[in-house]
Structure 1
Amino acid sequence: MRITCPLCGERDRREFYYRGAAVDLARPEPDAGEAAWDEFVYLRDNPAGMTRELWYHEGGCGAWIVVTRDTVTHEISGTDMASGVSA
C-alpha cells in the first residue's frame, strides 16, 4: 500500500505508523472504573468500507496525517494534515 504524505509525496506504507481511527474519543477519568477503561481501550468500531484513519510518518517527516481509506479494498482516496493531534 502506498500513502501520499502531504509534505513528502507518495511513500511506502512501511514508513508510517498506524494510530487508529481519526475520531475524537472521550478518554475516561482516571477513576472511571474498569468497565469504562475496558470499553475505551478494547471496544472500537471495525467498519468495512470508507474510514478516516490517523497515521504518523515515522520514517519520514514526522507529520501526523489523516488518511481516507476503504478498509475492504485498501484504496486510499485522500490524505490531509492532521490538526490538534497528540501522540
Structure 2
Amino acid sequence: MRLHCPVCGERDRREFYYRGFAGALQRPAPDAGEDAWNDYVHDRENPAGVCEDLWCHAAGCGAWIVVTRNTVTHEVLGTRLAEEAGADDAA
C-alpha cells in the first residue's frame, strides 16, 4: 500500500506508523473502573468500508496525516494533514 504524504509525496506505507481511528478516542478517568479501561485499551471499531485513520510519517517528515481508505478493497481515497482535519489528538 502506498500513502500520499501531503508534505513529502507518495511513499510506501512502511514509512508510516499506524495509530488507529482518526476520531477522538476518549480516555477514561483514572478511577473509571476496570471495564472502562479494558474497553479503552482493547476494544476498537473494525468497520467494513470507508473509514478514516491516523498515521504518522515516522520515517519521513514526522507529519500526522488522516488517511481515508476502504477497508474492504484497501483503496486509499485521500490523505490530508491531521492539523488541517482538526485531529487534535495526533501525538
Task: Tell me which interval the TM-score lies in, with the shorter structure as reference length.
Answer: over 0.9
Structure 1 residues 55, 42: CA separation in 2 closer, same or farther (over 3 Å shift)? same
Secondary structure of 1:18 counterpart: strand
Aligned residues: 87
TM-score when normalising by structure 1 = 0.95
Maintained 8 Å contact 1:22/1:66 = yes
- Matches of 1:6 and 1:86 in 2, distance apart? 15
Find the counterpart in structure 2 of residue 43 from structure 1. 43
CA RMSD in angstroms comes to 0.8
Find the counterpart in structure 2 of residue 25 from structure 1. 25
Structure 1 spans left out of the alignment, 5+ residues: none
Structure 2 spans left out of the alignment, 5+ residues: none
Maintained 8 Å contact 1:20/1:55 = yes
Alignment of 1:6-25 (within 5 A): 6-25=6-25
Q: CA deviation at 1:42?
A: 1.1
Maintained 8 Å contact 1:28/1:37 = yes
The letter of the residue matching 1:79 is T
TM-score when normalising by structure 2 = 0.91
Alignment of 1:65-76 (within 5 A): 65-76=65-76
- Matches of 2:32 and 2:9 in 1, distance apart? 42
